[in-house]
Amino acid sequence: MSVFEVGSLHVPAGELRHGRLTATTSASGQVVSVPVSIMHGAEPGPVLLVTGATHGTEITGTRTLLKLIARIDPARLRGTLISVPVTNPLAFDRATYASPEDGIHLGMPCYWPSDPAGSPTLRIGAQVRSLFDVATHYIDLHNNAEPAVPMSMEFAAQCSSPEVRQVQRAMAEAFGVTPVLMTDPEDGTAEKVGSVDGQPAAAASAHGIPGLMVELLDEHGHQGYEAGVRGVLNIMSKLGMLEEPVAPQLMERLQGSFTYHGVLTSRESGVLFPVCDPGTVMEQGSVVAHIVGMDGSVLEEVKMPVTGFVWAFLTTAPGGGSFAVPEGHAVGFVAAADV
Ligand SMILES: [Zn+2]
């Protein structure tokens, strides 16, 4: 089998190579580059691209990918795994969600179109785009702060063909955490947390690359990244890249099907106290969180707008703020149970 080439990286069959994609130069002259590990299997097969730290504060995907490559023997791999443990080094290095340089994060449309002459984050996007140009499948690993439950995001409407959608669906089932079908709700969600269309996994699916976005758990123990490792290995098995059968996830997934409903929004300001376990199906009207004022009284009961589940609560800064919430703040994500 031939050498796998992308940019200046050349990887012989049956080998793992680590390289970097040079993206931009900082004001003081530091070269900013994206770390990439490519495991090129001994036999031909799919080219799976997996990204971590698309958002710089969300490093469970980084931990997943650093552990994952040690668990696969390239001599037994069919196809190629492209691992990008830190997709946005500008944000990762400063523990920020978006890049401080330009306020852009890679969950925004940075790959289609890509802009190699744009601001620093867009230049990173243009380098990462070169990996999409050789990939056949894509997984984007994110995470939420606890309390939260791991879930995956499917983008059916964005898929370029029924075949792409079918593969995306199979990837979601194989990953093994509860899948949620993502659509833009009519609650201003796109203004609050970004449009579904702009997500890299949605954009990849629109360009013929079946893509899955996954929200893992932000925790410093092992369960967050072990669920990620298990999920990616499962997708590789499902795609025929590994011999091992698809294995059960570490946590149970919810039965039934779910569609994104939108964000919970606080009416009052105060401190957010979740009062439900994320990942538990609750009836419409059930109280899921309290907003507590400075005298300790409950100023607001945040209720389920539909029957379904909360997968995470939202902090004031995406991916790294606190539960001190202003009035009218997005405080959680809701998936509605399909009936
Ligand atoms: Zn994220």
pLDDT (tens digit per residue) in 234-253: 999 999 999 999 999 998 89
Amino acid 320: pLDDT: 66
Radius of gyration of the chain measured on its C-alpha atoms: 20
* Confidence bin at 57 (pLDDT 50/70/90): very high
Last-in-domain residue among 203, 238, 273:
238
What pLDDT, on a 0 to 100 scale, did the predictor assign at position 221?
76
Q: Residues 114, 214: one domain?
A: yes
Same domain, 327 and 273: yes
Query: Cβ atoms within 10 A of the Cβ of 339, count?
Result: 7
Q: Is 27 exposed, middle or buried (0-12, 13-18, 19+ CB in 10 A)?
A: exposed
Q: Which residues pair with 49 in a beta bridge?
A: 82, 138
Question: How far is 207 from 187, CA to CA, in rounded Å?
Answer: 27
CATH number of the domain where residue 319 is located: 2.40.50.100
User: Residue 154 pLDDT > 70, yes or no?
Assistant: yes
Burial 174-194 (b: 16+ CB within 10 A, else e): bbbbbbbbbbebebebeeeeb
Distance 75 CA to ligand 1 centre (A): 33
What would the pLDDT profile of 79-97 be if each residue is shown by its tens digit? 999 999 999 999 999 999 9
pLDDT score, position 133: 97
Q: Say how far apart CA 180 and CA 156 lie, in whole Å.
A: 10
pLDDT of residue 214: 98
Q: How far is the CA of 243 from the centre of ligand 1 (A)?
A: 31
Look at 176-190, 247-261, 308-322 and tell me which has the smallest mean pLDDT: 308-322
CA 300 – CA 289 distance, rounded (Å): 8
Q: What angle do CA 92, 95, 96 make, to 5 degrees?
A: 90
Query: For position 22, which CATH number holds?
Result: 3.40.630.10
Decide if 151 is inside a domain: yes
What pLDDT sits at residue 207?
98
Name the residue among 189, 250, 192, 246 with its Cα closest to residue 219: 250
pTM beyond 0.85, yes or no: yes
Taking the centre of ligand 1 as the mean of its atom positions, its distance from the CA of residue 52, in whole angstroms, is 9
Residue 1 has pLDDT above 70, yes or no: no
Q: Are 92 and 209 part of one and the same domain?
A: yes
Q: How far apart are CA 182 and CA 78, in angstroms?
A: 31
Taking a C-beta distance cutoff of 8 angstroms, is the pair 323, 292 a contact?
no
Neighbours of ion ligand 1 (CB under 5 A): 55, 58, 142
Between the CA of 20 and the centroid of ligand 1 the distance, in Å, is: 22
What spacing in Å lies between the alpha carbon of 142 and ligand 1's midpoint? 5
For residue 35, the model assigns a pLDDT of 98
Confirm whether 252 is domain-assigned.
Answer: no
**Last residue of a domain, which of 178, 204, 238?**
238
* Centroid of ligand 1 to alpha carbon of 42 (angstroms): 33
Look-up: residue for tokens 């097969």? 45
* 215 plus 311 within the same structural domain: no
Cα 150 to middle of ligand 1, angstroms: 13
Predicted pLDDT at 319: 63
Q: How far is the CA of 97 from the centre of ligand 1 (A)?
A: 8
Dist. CA 55 → ligand 1 center (Å): 5
Domain boundary among 238, 272, 300: 238
Decide: 84 and 35 in contact? Cβ < 8 Å. Answer: yes
Residues 264 and 160 in one domain: no
Q: Which DSSP string corresponds to 105-117?
A: -TTSS-SSS--TT
Helix, coil or strand: residue 188: coil
Q: From the CA of 233, how far away is ligand 1's center (Å)?
A: 21
**Do 44 and 109 reside in the same domain of the chain?**
yes
* Residue 6 confidence (pLDDT) above 80: yes
Examine the domain organization and report whether 162 and 267 are in the same domain. no
Q: With H, G, I as helix, E, B as strand and everything else as coil, classify residue 316.
A: coil
Number of separate domains in the chain: 2
Domain residues for the domain of 156 are: 4-238
